[in-house]
Amino acid sequence: MRVFGLLCLVLISTPNLEAQKLSQPTQTADACETNEDYAIPAVNEALQLLKRGVVDLAVERMYIRPLSTLGDRVSIAALKIYSADEILQTENAQAYLTVVRNAFSSRSSVVAKPDQIPKVTSLVLNYLKGKEISNAGIEKRISYLEQCVKDFSCSSQSEYDFFHKP
């Protein structure tokens, strides 16, 4: 219960950047490595593209793959972008879970040592899991991510395998 209270406090005290529209692409690998903004612009842009379904090879390479340098920082950014209610919305939750999967694909890629420990991500996944989400796919993705974030073994292929295991 203390974890939930802490998470709620963080969610309530963070500004909502959802309404902020980015006029031009700003995502680069360097944008994900900044400490002063928790990579909020990079994560926000990736979330927006994922929500719109705009993911081709070029978008993947330019906006999604660089998130692998962030680790736990993607969840800090997401908490600053989404309110507690917004992160529960299906399209936002799906986009968030995708950026988490990419951010936890390789521990050696994560730039900042503290971001190699999935403390915030674990809190957010527990929060999502504890809420009523009327989407079995999201619930299964959360179960998958709870396992793979611990050892940075997340990938789209292993997520596919998890969904299709007998």
DSSP string computed for 96-147: HHHHHHHHTS-GGG-SSGGGGS-HHHHHHHHHHHHS----HHHHHHHHHHHH
User: Is residue 72 scored above 90 in pLDDT?
Assistant: yes
Instruction: Report, as an integer, the average pLDDT of 55-84.
Output: 92
User: Is residue 19 scored above 70 in pLDDT?
Assistant: no
Which tens digits make up the pLDDT trace of 97-154?
Answer: 999 999 999 999 999 999 999 999 999 999 999 987 778 899 999 999 999 999 999 9
